């Protein structure tokens, strides 16, 4: 059984948030949105009957408001359901994280980074307890940083999704159904736009030409120039 770290009125969750979210999803995969009993949940989480570790695990899940209820009426909370959904948002995960009040107060002060030297006194100020020793302080610091990684990864994933969406919007060219172009097989020019791709786009046919026009339009919007597609086409045609 793991040692529970307590400071003031707070008990630091033993299991990290990423693990607890995985457990919540596992519970949902087995019992859905209805009620499950303790025996069911023990089996789902691979605990032996009446294992003390099971009860501390459930305390951890409740600390972040991922599950609720007791005995025969254990179920995933509405917040827990949103947190494990495929389209969960950064705001939902922040709400889960902040449900453990000590983490919320530390996040308000430190964000994603907290130094060992400043944490001990801060914990004393927040909890009203004596400053914890170095070992306890470091354990709390590591637990906090590991849990807040969930928010950092979510933010990164969201940015990647937004970036992908922007790329799709830039290159949203309809599939051409006209006859094959008589343009040269080799490239007659290149255009590079890091927001779209690190590699140059080869302009060698009608499709790649249309992509280049879209990229130029995106550049114009970024520079607030607002040039029209016709003007860009004329410029390219005049250079031939």
Q: Is the whole-model pTM more than 0.85?
A: no
- Kindly indicate the confidence band of residue 239, based on its pLDDT and cuts at 50, 70 and 90: low
H helices of the chain, in order, are 17-31, 38-44, 52-63, 78-83, 90-99, 101-110, 116-127, 134-170, 206-222, 229-238
Summarize pLDDT for 8-58 with one digit per residue, the tens. 999 999 999 999 999 999 999 999 999 999 999 999 999 988 789 999 999
- Kindly indicate the confidence band of residue 164, based on its pLDDT and cuts at 50, 70 and 90: very low
218/172: higher pLDDT: 218
DSSP bridge partners of 197: 193
Res 215: pLDDT: 77
d(Cα 30, Cα 116) in Å, to the nearest integer? Answer: 40
């Amino acid at each position: 059984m793991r040692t529970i770290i307590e400071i003031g009125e707070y008990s630091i969750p033993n299991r990290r948030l990423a693990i607890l979210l995985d457990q919540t999803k596992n519970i949902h995969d087995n019992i859905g949105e209805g009620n499950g009993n303790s025996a069911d949940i023990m089996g789902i989480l691979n605990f032996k009957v009446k294992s003390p570790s099971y009860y501390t695990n459930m305390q951890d899940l409740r600390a972040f408001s991922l599950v609720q209820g007791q005995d025969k009426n254990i179920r995933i909370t509405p917040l827990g359901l949103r947190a494990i959904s495929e389209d969960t948002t950064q705001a939902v995960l922040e709400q889960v994280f902040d449900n453990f009040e000590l983490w919320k107060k530390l996040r308000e002060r430190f964000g994603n980074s907290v130094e060992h030297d400043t944490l001990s006194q801060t914990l004393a100020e927040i909890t009203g307890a004596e400053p914890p020793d170095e070992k306890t302080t470091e354990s709390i610091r590591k637990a906090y940083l590991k849990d807040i990684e969930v928010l950092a990864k979510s933010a990164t994933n969201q940015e990647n999704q937004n970036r992908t969406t922007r790329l799709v919007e830039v290159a949203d060219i309809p599939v051409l159904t006209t006859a094959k172009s008589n343009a040269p097989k080799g490239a007659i020019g290149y255009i590079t736009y890091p927001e779209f791709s690190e590699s140059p786009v080869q302009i060698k046919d009608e499709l790649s030409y249309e992509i280049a026009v879209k990229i130029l339009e995106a550049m114009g919007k970024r520079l607030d120039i607002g040039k029209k597609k016709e003007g860009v086409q004329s410029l390219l045609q005049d250079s031939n």
